[in-house]
Amino acid sequence: MLRQIRHFQAIVQENSFTEAAELCHISQSGISQSIKALEDEIGVQLLIRKNRSFELTEAGKHFYQKSLVITADLERLCRETVRIDRKDAAKLRLGVLSTYSGDEFNCAIAAFSEKYPGVELSVVSGNHEDLYDGLRLGGIDLALNDQRRAFSDAYENLVLMETACYVEVASHNPLSRLDTVSVDAMKNTPCILVASPAQQEEERRFYRDIIGFRGDFLFADTLQAARVMVVSNRGVMPVEGPNSDSFFGATLKRIPLIRDGIQLRRNYCAFWKKDNSGYYVEAFADILKSMYSFA
């Protein structure tokens, strides 16, 4: 039946019995017989022939859409089965936003490693564009990232949480005495960002044009280096996450970042390419989602 289903899919996709037959390397009469055999097996009519054209029945439309999901799953199952037979090492490559400070990601890694000890995990960190490029170019399988673009149909876009925005400031900075700080009030205050040299301009554009910072921008390669700059009172660093002063001790303070009187908020999501979806990617995504449900 699988071959007959593929013949049916080809006919629908090519909108032609003739072209589908060529694509499937079968005669036109052969592909017609294949469709009839499929309809006989299922017990319903899938399409109606009209001279040189055809149209799908309602049942045919339903069968076509569902069959695409089934054949995609079957292809993935076959690839995974071949990999297991060849004893290839299972690998999962993860990416996390360099400014992310929550515990959920690390807890998900620990839970996944306990459940799947045979899977080799690797983790890279970067800014938004670094992680986006990693997914797009195949360098990572799943990324925990902030949402900056409209969701793309080419990716699975799993919203994990909406988080509040803050700025980190040095405890001896006069701003640390404020209960909140507006973007407009910091027009003369440098904004410290974590970004690789290649991504600095993109980060500058986002925080200037989308968030609204109008001061100078300073850059650090790592979150730790950026926090040293903050403690040195060279500027403030925008961050997202919980406001836990105990985490920073006496050197830093987080202040809610507001615009037009409302605290800014951002979505954190797990992203992975639909054509790279597999058992371990989806398993990690499920575990990560569960960590947020208990947060």
Question: Token pair for residue 87?
Answer: 């004893």
Query: 186 with 247, same domain?
Result: yes
My answer on whether 195 and 213 are in the same domain is: yes
Q: Residues 268-283: what's their mean pLDDT? A: 89
Task: For residues 276 and 138, state if they share a domain.
Answer: yes
Domain containing 41 — which CATH number?
1.10.10.10
Q: Are residues 183 and 142 in the same domain?
A: no
Write the secondary structure of 127-162 as one string of H (helix), E (strand) and C (coil).
CHHHHHHHHHHCCCCEEEEECCCCCCCCEEEEEEEE
Find tokens 């839970």 and name the residue. Answer: 111
170 and 251 together in one domain: yes
Q: Does 249 have pLDDT greater than 80?
A: no
Segment 154-173 mean pLDDT: 91
Among 59, 85, 111, the domain boundary falls at: 85
Residue 208, pLDDT above cutoff 80: yes
Q: Please state the rounded mean pLDDT for residues 50-58.
A: 86
pLDDT of residue 244 exceeding 70, the answer is no
Percentages of the chain per state (helix, strand, coil), in multiples of 5: 45, 25, 25
Question: Are 80 and 97 in a shared domain?
Answer: no
Can you give the pLDDT at residue 246? 43
121: exposed, middle or buried (Cβ count in 10 Å: 0-12, 13-18, 19+): middle
Task: Give the amino acid at 291.
Answer: M
**Closest C-alpha among 240, 43, 232 to residue 128:** 240
Q: Is the pLDDT of residue 226 over 50?
A: yes
Residues 8, 46 within the same domain:
yes
Number of domains in the chain: 3
Q: What whole-number percentage of the chain has pLDDT above 70?
A: 94
Residues 6+ apart with CB under 8 A from 35: 4, 7, 8, 11, 46, 47
With residue 108 as reference, give the H or E element that holds it.
helix 104-115
In this prediction the pTM is 0.57
- Distance of alpha carbon 158 from the chain centroid: 7
**In the predicted structure, residue 247 carries a pLDDT above the cut 60:** no
Range of the domain at 9: 2-85
Q: Residue 124's domain is classified under what CATH number?
A: 3.40.190.10
Do 184 and 257 belong together in one domain?
Answer: yes
Q: What is the mean pLDDT of residues 167-190?
A: 91
Looking at the structure, do residues 148 and 276 belong to the same domain, yes or no? yes
Lowest-confidence pick of 14-23, 73-82, 230-239: 73-82
